[in-house]
Copies of this chain bind each other. A is one copy, B any other.
Amino acid sequence: MRPVARTRSPRGQGEALRAEILDAAEALLVETQSEEAVSIRAVAHRVGVTPPSIYRHFEDKASLMFAVCHRQFERLDVQLRTHLAAERDPVEAVMACGRAYIRFGLEHPETYRIMFMGHWELTPEQYRDELHSHSGAFVTLVETVRAAADAGRLRPGVDVMTASLSLWAHVHGLVSLRIAKPSFPWPDLDEHIDLETRTIGAALFT
């Protein structure tokens, strides 16, 4: 019945299974693009282990899913900073940041859905991680906006935090709507991205 032969981890290497579980859960999520397909049992079966063994490494299913998404969002931050470094104009950098964010969200729809549309009963320590998680990307955004502000490109009467929140709301709105309502007659993605970034950009920067 066990699909994958798995030899038990040596004494100190109990953490090895944790990594395998995380990989399996992420692979399952990416393949199926469905949260409910990532059941404890499915993950355990994939790793070649029994369901209860998962609980030695993750407190519950929410913790597991959170860890999976958390890891993917760390990659978002990396991706953001990469696209960011390529731009010289500070406002263009903000826009590149937004475009990269949108692309990431639409390329990982189920991950994005779980992170931003799931409802979590967060434990205090998860709360800290969660804040740090999307804060990673958000802080990157704020820094980029601040750079634009320092260059005097922010419209008068707009402060850094306000601009960042507006950008986040707008960009997240675009991503989550397109994920949630794929049946809607959306404009072409590239045009849509261009349109929205220009709209919000014009409202906030000079």
Contact = CB atoms under 8 A, between A and B. Distances in A.
**Number of copies of this chain that the complex holds:** 2
Contacts of A195: 162, 165-166
Q: How large is the interface on A (under 10, 10 to 19, 20 to 34, 35 or more residues)?
A: 35 or more
Contacts of A165: 187, 192, 195-196
A170 B131 CA distance: 22
Interface of A: 34-35, 110, 113, 116-119, 122, 127, 130-131, 134, 158, 161-162, 165-166, 168-174, 176-177, 180-181, 183-184, 187, 192, 195-196, 199-200, 202-204
A40 B16 CA distance: 40
Contact of A174 (B116, B158, B169, B199): B169
Contacts of A35: 119
The main secondary structure of chain A at its interface with chain B is helix
A134 B180 CA distance: 12
A205 to B, nearest CB: 11
